[in-house]
Amino acid sequence: MADIRQNDIESRSAPRDEDGSASVSRLAWVSSGLGLLLFLGSVGVLGYEGVTRGSGPPVITAVVEAVVPAGPRWLAHIQVTNDGGKTGAKVQVEGQLMAGDEALETATAEFDYVPAGSEQKGGLFFDRDPRAHTLRLRVLGYVEP
């Protein structure tokens, strides 16, 4: 890079002819500088992510965010979070409305992907109001992508 700059300074002092300016145009500097920035930036972010992100299995948890009426039924908004090192695919989440030890109702949802370090949202439908019962959420399993 220093070589180019040197060259640029040299050519700037050189006489110009009708063919155009002798120095590299400002637009070329801007676009190639931006390219260098994006190049180093993406390699840097990916490298940093590769170093800091563990290589352990997916650790996926699910929580209920809110319960709202949905037509004649009830909808529980859920959010799954993957704190592990790898992405889980086809992540199945099961929600059960419990009355004591007995499950009154079961609903499931499947997430295509829960990438490592990210959150995904979904919902479970129930006939009964989940707020009147205990809602037990379980992440059942995943496959490696």
Partner 1 sequence: MDITRQRSFLHDEAQFARALARASAGAIIFALPLLMTMEMWELGFYMDRFRLALFILVTLPVLFGLSYFAGFEETFCWQDDLIDALSAFAVGFLMSAALLTVFAIVRLDQPLPEIIGKIALQSVPASIGAMLARKQLGQQDDADRERRIRSSYPGELFLMGAGALFVGFNVAPTEEMILISYKMSPWHAVALAVLSLGLLHIFVYTVGFAGQESAGDDGFLSVFLRFSVAGYGIALLISLYLLWTFERIAGLSMMELVTATVVLGFPSALGAATARLIV
CB 111 to partner 1: min, Å: 12
Three-state secondary structure call for residue 84:
coil
How far are the Cα atoms of 54, 96, 97, 116, 125 from residue 70, in angstroms, in the given order? 40, 18, 17, 31, 8
Burial code (b: 16+ CB inside 10 Å, e: under 16) for 113-134 equals: ebebeeebebbbebeeebeebe
Of 13-21, 66-74, 95-103, 135-143: span binding partner 1 (CB under 8 A): 13-21
Under DSSP, the state recorded for 130 is: G
CB 60 to partner 1: min, Å: 14
Residue 94 CA to residue 103 CA, distance in Å, equals: 12
31 touches partner 1 (CB under 8 A): yes
CB 79 within 8 A of CB 62: yes
Q: Which of 68, 73, 107, 117 touches partner 1 by CB under 8 A? A: 117
Nearer to partner 1, 50 or 100 (CB): 50
143 touches partner 1 (CB under 8 A): no
87 touches partner 1 (CB under 8 A): yes
Q: What are the residues binding partner 1 (CB under 8 A)?
A: 3-4, 7, 10-11, 14, 17, 19-29, 31-36, 38-39, 41-43, 45-47, 49-50, 53, 86-87, 89, 113, 115-118, 145
